[in-house]
Chain A
Amino acid sequence: MGGSRTDNDDLLEKFKNLDFMKMDRRTFIKAVGVLGASLFLQTYKNDLAKALEFSETKVVWLHGVMDSGCTISMLDGGSPDIIEFLQEYNLKLLYHEVLMMQQGIFVDGKLANTSDLNSEIVLDDILEKEKGYVLVSEGAISNGPEGSGKYLMLGGRTYKEIYAKAAKNALAIVAIGNCATNGGVNSAKSDIVELMDPRGVAFTMEDASKGILDLLGIEKPVINLTGCPTHPDWVFLTIGAVVLGKIKIPDDLPYVLDHWKRPKVFFPPDHVIHDNCSRRGYYDRGEFELTVGGPKCLWKLGCKGPYTHADCATRNWNGHLNYCPQAGSPCIGCVQPGFPDSTRPFFVEFEKTGIVGTNITTIAGVAIGGALLAAGAHAVRRTAMKRPEDEGGLAEESTPEEIEEETGGEK
């Protein structure tokens, strides 16, 4: 959504007057993007209730190698919050290690008590009996050492083994946070990363051949919601769209996802954080901070906002209050698939470094951005930011005009 505030205002009015039940998938995606989660739910509350007259959708939430940051981020979701999210979309959360009463209990090596208290009985039931659930994946999957998966074991078995079973029977996998989508910090370059061999679901760092699903020989639709952590709106609204049938799995995925398997509405290929940055005016005037603590543009302190595709600057975080550059920090590109290798060192200007793991088109984009910067050009985003959907051969995002056509016609 490259549109300005004014475009959004017009769209907002338009969406408010639309019949939710007749809304097609692309319009739905646009609507949640433009209205935001809270307003969307308010606007369509009654329609949602009607749409949900089908049976509940089950959700299984697994934690691999991670720091629980995405679970914490989900608890911070305010619009909707996690409870509203489960209720509004008629979801039944079957398993979530942080939010459940149960834990694994073994007496002399055998499972004890009932599923009221024993999480391993709950998990076994899911792995053996359940089908068609949404699998929310938080955290990377340990493959090391030597492909054994023993660097993370739960209930006496490897997480890799649990994950393989859970993935096989899922309707779709929603990977949340960079650990799950791309291996995250666990997969960052180090002297022992090959030994540990942590994997993302469909990618490891920027490598699509190294996802754990490929290794396990499992084909499942995957939706990636990157970020360290990921934003609760991104997660709740994406799952909501899947559950409501507004994104049909798997047919619609090629149209709504970018080539990192992320919803384009939240990670727009034609839009970067820099576009709507609150410090943008300073950038346009060529006024830059050279040390931390001031109000000006953070470009020279290493800001990755010009290369980072996410709606942070318009959506904002934690009650939609703030985002990193506004709070004085260079964007560190935590939604980027190669994070942190593709965006560190955090406090060094991009063109001054040979960034590890960054592909050549990114570097080219930076060079163009840099040249234009010298002229103080406002047009940088139009020139430098057109790449991903062009090279990926994926469908273009709808323009506001197209939306008008689609929604006006009520097909």
Chain B
Amino acid sequence: MVQVTVDPLTRIEGHYRINTEVNEEGVITDAQSNGLQLRGFERLLQHQDPRDASLLSQRICGVCPVSHGIAAANALDDLFGVAGEVPIDGLLMRNVHQALNFIASHAAHIYLLWGPDLANPAYRDILAKYGDVGNAVWKELQGRFAPLIYQLDGTSYPAGSSYLGSIVEFRRLHEAISLIASKMPHPVLQHVGGVVYSPTVADIGQILSYITKTMEFVEAFTLGVSPDIWIENTYRASSPQKAANFVLNHLQELLNKSLDNKDFSHSAGWGDVPLFAAFGSELIGEKLLGLPISMKMDLAGTYKDPGKIGFLSYGVFFKPENGNGYDPTSPADSRVISSGYMNGYFKLEKFDYKKISESINHSFYIDDVKDRPPWNGVTVPEGNPENIDYTKGSKSRYSWTKAPHYDGIPCEVGPLARMIIMGEPLVTGLVKTFQDNGYYPVNNYTRMIARMQEILVVVPELTKWLTQDIQAGGKVAVHTDLSMAKSSTGMGLWEAPRGALGHWVATGPDSMVTLYQAVVPSTWNLAPRNSQEIPSPVEQALIGTKISAAENALGVDYSNPLGILHTARSYDPCLACAVHTIDKTGKHPDYIIKVL
């Protein structure tokens, strides 16, 4: 048994460690997911004016501040009792703000954080087995996805073309956000009762122009085909089977053209997604398209016991047809990307927020009660330095992250969960294709395809809100004053780019915050074990995964643990979000927020 540890896992947000036990066959047999830092965020909101939360809670995360801002504003709307009155243009501004952040955040993950692992030298050697075709594909991978600091055999190489191009688009999308929200990160748009800025016709035109430019990058680099054609045949396809077939046929055509001349360049139509889609999966690449070799990412990052995993979405983007206001407790009926819970066998259930709970058995917190719902959260951080030790294995306490679960089951949250819950045709079609061929459909390959596809799902909705729904200069907020928050409670459920995000807030008779709690996506995905000793999604996804590239295609190499890297990064970890603490002093240990 070999112990392979990745510490720190870089190219994520925050600080994170993974420890694994690996057997002689190179299969991971045990894993612990360790959040490495304590920030104490929610406590600084306590005893303070609740209205500050929509701006301050954004400082939890520099990558998705918008999501925290909106989740907090949703909670404050509820707290102040105005959720039912927020003007439709305020809700649409939240949609636009969040959609731009979704696209930028996904682009950053795909290209800056996850993508560089495709330029790992292991793939040079694996692809070389496929002769000139393989070498040509490796050249593309390295030339597109190498990060800013990248060396091979001691020689530095320049950053990849897609990597560099994505920085420009990331910046462009943040400029679009800044037009209506002042700046990124940490914009100032969100406020209780709505938003603080009503857009002008010029703002709307300018944002549309930015989106058009970004879609030019998507066409030239990401997809290699017109996004309109892609969306028409996938997101707008009449059935999941048709959507999956469109992609398979497209890949087959590309391969037919390129196998002879070995041209896998962008200009030959090999967008980044087709290149990954064809060579990333054993099922798609080898079995369905007839390639002799692939990166086999569909075999890694899967769940082996469907009875111990679920998929969760709170729902995101208000539906304009619902008009003013929203119901904070039933997001299922009011969101464009719907809420829902799906079990490990892909059976869909209606989401019920009362089933959410967090346990601390394996976290560095002290509490007599090992499992609490968020509206009764208590967290006392371990204060004795000698008791802070990450290295004692799965039975010990080993993370600053708590372990949330839904009805006792750990849940994966994020783009793949959202896409299968909403029934997006391409992702649903892929899920079915994998199931029909004996594969577990949730894996590193489908997780990345879903993230890419979600960009394309959001763009047409965003365009519609801007061109048809939003009223330039419209009323964007209802008036509130602090006294409306006296002795009240509020809940804000929303989706960050990386998954389900909930804020809970309570106030006392002076309207000041008595309790604030955020349960964030990376707490779901990257938790330690829960109170029933069930490993978290990332731990389950690692156990059974092979340690080195493409299912140990070159033999077992513990020192280049690509299996860990791909799987852990596929969740788009955001650890600054995931570590939080509530009540050290015990001043309000039994405070219970009664959510309607």
Contacts and interface: CB of A to CB of B under 8 A. Distances in A.
A221 interface: no
Interface stretch (B152-160, B292-300, B313-321, B464-472): B152-160
B477 A293 contact: yes
B49 A318 contact: no
Interface string B74-116: 0000000000000000000000000000000000100011001
A99 B149 contact: yes
A100 B8 CA distance: 12
B182 A326 contact: yes
Q: Give the interface centre of A83, A116, A345 by most chain B CB atoms within 10 Å.
A: A116
Query: Which DSSP category, helix, strand, loop or mixed, fits chain A's interface?
Result: loop
Given A76-B171, A317-B182, A329-B196, A153 B36 contact: yes
A220 to B, nearest CB: 24
Contact of B40 (A117, A190, A348): A190
A229 B62 contact: yes
Nearest to B172: A319
Contacts of B11: 97-100, 103
Nearest to A289: B196
Interface in B176-196: 177-189, 191, 193-196
A180 to B, nearest CB: 13
B194 A69 contact: no
A345 B146 CA distance: 45
A142 interface: yes
A119 B170 contact: no
A13 interface: no
Contacts of B44: 185, 188-190, 193, 340
A83 B159 contact: yes
B63 A68 contact: yes
A277 to B, nearest CB: 13
A324 interface: yes
A210 B394 CA distance: 38
Contacts of B48: 344-345
A190 B558 contact: no
Contact of A228 (B59, B60, B177, B381): B59
Contacts of B177: 318
Contacts of A93: 148-149
A321 interface: yes
A151 interface: yes
B62 A344 contact: no
A108 interface: yes
Contacts of B477: 291-293
Contacts of A101: 116, 119-120, 146-147, 149-151
Interface string A183-197: 011101111110110
B429 to A, nearest CB: 34
A292 B381 contact: no
Contacts of B592: none
Nearest to A353: B49
A327 B388 contact: no
B384 interface: yes
A106 B188 CA distance: 42
A113 B39 CA distance: 32
Interface in A158-185: 184-185
A97 B159 CA distance: 15
Contacts of B41: 185
A370 interface: no
Given A113-B560, A291-B477, A319-B175, A146 B383 contact: yes
Contact of A318 (B61, B148, B184, B196): B184
B214 to A, nearest CB: 14
Interface in B108-148: 108, 112-113, 116, 119-121, 146-148
Nearest to B561: A105
A104 B61 contact: no
Interface in B6-46: 6-15, 17, 36-41, 43-44, 46
B438 interface: no
Nearest to A348: B49
Contact of A75 (B9, B14, B170): B170
Contacts of B187: 327
A360 interface: no
B463 interface: no
Contacts of A148: 385, 388
Given A67-B61, A151-B37, A191-B585, A98 B381 contact: no
B3 interface: yes
Nearest to B382: A145
B51 A347 contact: yes
A328 B197 contact: yes
A293 B3 contact: no
Contact of B43 (A78, A151, A190): A190
Nearest to A194: B584
Interface in B43-71: 43-44, 46, 48-49, 51-52, 55-56, 59-63, 65
B381 A116 contact: no
A344 B6 contact: no
B62 A112 contact: no
A185 to B, nearest CB: 5
Contacts of A408: none
A192 B582 CA distance: 9
B311 interface: no
Interface-centre pick from A75, A119, A189 (highest chain B CB count, 10 A)? A75
Nearest to A334: B186
A116 B153 contact: yes
Contact of B189 (A69, A150, A291, A327): A327
Contacts of B12: 98
Contact of B475 (A186, A192, A293): A293
A154 interface: yes
B384 A145 contact: yes
A329 B5 CA distance: 45
Contacts of A191: 43, 46, 583-585, 587
Nearest to A227: B186
B476 A293 contact: yes
A119 B185 CA distance: 27
A260 to B, nearest CB: 20
A72 interface: yes
B336 interface: no
Contacts of A109: 3, 5
A155 B149 CA distance: 19
B484 interface: no
Contacts of B120: 101, 117
Contacts of B183: 317-318, 322-324, 327
Nearest to A345: B49
Counting from the closest, the 10 A-B pairs by CB-CB distance are: A69-B62, A329-B188, A327-B182, A148-B385, A318-B178, A317-B183, A328-B197, A112-B559, A345-B49, A100-B149
Given A67-B59, A75-B171, 18 more contacts: A69-B186, A96-B148, A103-B11, A106-B4, A109-B5, A112-B558, A152-B36, A154-B8, A185-B59, A191-B587, A192-B585, A317-B178, A317-B182, A319-B178, A329-B188, A329-B197, A346-B55, A347-B52
Interface of A: 63, 65-73, 75-78, 81-83, 93-109, 112-117, 119-120, 142, 144-146, 148, 150-156, 184-186, 188-193, 195-196, 228-229, 291-293, 317-319, 321-324, 326-329, 332, 334, 340, 344-348
25 contacts: A67-B185, A69-B185, A75-B171, A99-B149, A104-B8, A105-B6, A106-B3, A115-B154, A145-B383, A146-B383, A150-B385, A151-B388, A192-B40, A196-B39, A292-B191, A293-B196, A318-B174, A322-B183, A327-B180, A327-B183, A327-B187, A327-B196, A328-B197, A345-B52, A346-B52
